[in-house]
Amino acid sequence: MSNTVKIVRFHKTGPAEVLQFDELPLPEPGPGEIRLRVKALGLNRAEIMFRNGQYLETPVHPAKNGYEAAGIIEATGPDVDGSWIGKTVSTVPGTFKLNDHGVYGEVAVVPLHGIAEYPSTLSYEQGASIWMQYLTAYGALIWLGQVAKGDFVVITAASSSVGIAAIEMVKVEGAISIAVTRTAAKKAELLKLGADHVIVTDEEDLVARVNEITLGKGARIVFDPIGGKILESLAASTASKGIIFEYGALAPEPTPYPLFTALAKHLTIRAYTLFELTPDPVFPKAKQYIFDHLALGAFRPIIDKTFPFAEIVEAHRYMESNAQIGKIVVTL
Amino acid sequence: MSNTVKIVRFHKTGPAEVLQFDELPLPEPGPGEIRLRVKALGLNRAEIMFRNGQYLETPVHPAKNGYEAAGIIEATGPDVDGSWIGKTVSTVPGTFKLNDHGVYGEVAVVPLHGIAEYPSTLSYEQGASIWMQYLTAYGALIWLGQVAKGDFVVITAASSSVGIAAIEMVKVEGAISIAVTRTAAKKAELLKLGADHVIVTDEEDLVARVNEITLGKGARIVFDPIGGKILESLAASTASKGIIFEYGALAPEPTPYPLFTALAKHLTIRAYTLFELTPDPVFPKAKQYIFDHLALGAFRPIIDKTFPFAEIVEAHRYMESNAQIGKIVVTL
């Protein structure tokens, strides 16, 4: 066992190739921490934005990166129960900062409260593809949105891992999903994954189609990571007293607030990220809900493509191409 | 008693002078309606927007106008209890459409469910200055916002009748009001009316001052009828997980949605009008709360200026000058 390990860091913000493999001394877990031998990394859009210097958190160089890793605990901090060693867990985004504990590497040191076990039926790749997507969807749809049987839920960026998680969660809750995707390329796959309706915005009018599907009522919940000008169409597609969750900022342009539409329909626009969920008392309940549905097979993390660790730069580029349906995973 | 009456109508949208006095046959109340002999009219910003063709409701010409009248019931519809005759009441905005029941006139025919009694200690002028302002404030601050002791509440357009009502309500609930006004002209009066803090935006930086007042926490509730670019400063002045109520659209420019600020602080932006409150089961409770605080003297409708009925066009122009502090009333 070498006493150095490869950790992916970037020393300046920029395109995928700023990510580099730094050979560093094997880090020891401090109080309240564990060290994970990483087997798989799940990539997140947030990590692209962080690498670009456009994220809520600002990189401190040389910066680590990465929220989601699955692997085996190989060391524990001085005050942490040693019986954790040998257990298979994955890391939970929203419980630590990327600068402090970014997990891209052969090993990752993270706080004990930032890991969770997952059903043993799942592979490492699937284990690294759980928490960002299901917790994000849970917080908006179930915790804050209280989705109920028969509700119409519009899901934009539907083929993202969070989008697919939302489609699964809406089905489990007896509601009706309306998946929104830009091109026809992903339509068949989204239907196969359980979407009740798919709207292809390059070919169809979003507002007219939502109106048609909901018989003029509009959607009670909209779940959108895009922002920008689509917010106007989304507001026009929302039911009276409906709620729009904004959970990302993928659009390059500024976001207009649809004031008149919002006033006429008494709309709520709620900005939400899972950083709000993880410190809340509801967090254990959320984790259990997700664990149970994974164990039952009602939630199945979809892996679009895996890359070997050596190709993490290509994996970032691939995410930026928007070709994927589901999660992009790096394996070690 | 003449069998014709003067009703104010407009036959096209436009500036104040489109309002004209039409001599019409005395209208009879239909089923579920009463006829009010009008003693005072309270003017609302909504009526200016309706006259301009910029309101949520589109005028059907020749269009009536006016939400708030106080007066004496002089006739009842065929199915309405005749004991209402002789009672002093005022009309409640949000319970009828302007096209159907606009109250600008010597008499007004309105639905029975669209009137309410008020404490007999109040004048007709005050009676016409109750429901729009206190119900609007109640719905946002108490019903939806659940304002609590110690909360900081930012109130823009603070010298409007709704703004002053919000200042009073915040005080009654043990919270702390931060009144926002454009020029120093109204500062002293706002403090006299009970504002805990006043920010003059022509002279002070809104965000810096709110930060100073709230010791960096920001306001838990923002109550804003303006929209437009001030929304960005308001979002920057809001506490983490705070809520911004948008209840009007006074700004001429488009309203930007402050996506990054909202995501970083998990903000809610809630568009609200009292049209949401009046059909809700909470409505009787809201009316009772307002009646009780009026009777106690905790709420005191502030009349800025009265105009005789013949000068209703001037009264509209005066409202558009933004010189007032409190309600503009037309007397008959």
> Per CB distance under 8 Å, which residues of A are interface residues toward B?
56, 227, 231, 241, 246-249, 254-257, 259-260, 262-273, 275-276
Q: Cite the DSSP H helix spans in chain B.
A: 45-51, 98-101, 124-127, 131-137, 161-172, 187-192, 206-213, 230-236, 259-265, 274-277, 283-296, 312-320
Regarding whether B266 and B140 lie in a shared domain, the answer is yes
Regarding whether A79 and A178 lie in a shared domain, the answer is no
Q: Which domain holds residue B190?
A: 133-274
Give B259→chain A minimum CA distance, Å.
Answer: 7
Regarding whether B101 and B82 lie in a shared domain, the answer is yes
- The answer to the question of residue A30 being in a domain is yes
Regarding whether A259 and A203 lie in a shared domain, the answer is yes
One-letter amino acid at B14 equals G
Complex ipTM > 0.90: yes
List the single best residue of A259, A265, A277 to mutate versus B (max B Cβ within 10 A): A259
Regarding whether A262 and A139 lie in a shared domain, the answer is yes
- The answer to the question of residue B189 being in a domain is yes
Q: Dump strand ranges (E) for chain B.
A: 4-10, 19-25, 33-42, 68-76, 88-91, 107-111, 115-116, 152-155, 176-181, 197-200, 219-224, 238-246, 255-257, 268-271, 303-308, 327-331
Kindly give the confidence (pLDDT) of every residue in chain A, 332 residues in length, as a single tens digit, with 9 standing for 90 and above. 558 999 999 999 999 999 999 999 999 999 999 999 999 999 999 999 999 999 989 999 999 999 999 999 999 999 999 999 999 999 999 999 999 999 999 999 999 999 999 999 999 999 999 999 999 999 999 999 999 999 999 999 999 999 999 999 999 999 999 999 999 999 999 999 999 999 999 999 999 999 999 999 999 999 999 999 999 999 999 999 999 999 999 999 999 999 999 999 999 999 999 999 999 999 999 999 999 999 999 999 999 999 999 999 999 999 999 889 999 999 99
- The answer to the question of residue B46 being in a domain is yes
The structural domain count of chain A equals 2
Q: Of the candidates B241, B257, B263, which has its C-beta nearest A56's C-beta?
A: B263
Regarding whether A246 and A150 lie in a shared domain, the answer is yes
Measured between beta carbons, the chain A residues lying within 8 angstroms of B238 are: none
**CATH code assigned at B247:** 3.40.50.720
Q: Of the candidates A249, A266, A272, which has its C-beta nearest B273's C-beta?
A: A266
Regarding whether B107 and B12 lie in a shared domain, the answer is yes
Q: Cα separation of A230 and A243, whole Å?
A: 15
Regarding whether A215 and A270 lie in a shared domain, the answer is yes
- The answer to the question of residue A293 being in a domain is no
Regarding whether A235 and A101 lie in a shared domain, the answer is no
**CATH code assigned at B86:** 3.90.180.10
Regarding whether A124 and A257 lie in a shared domain, the answer is no
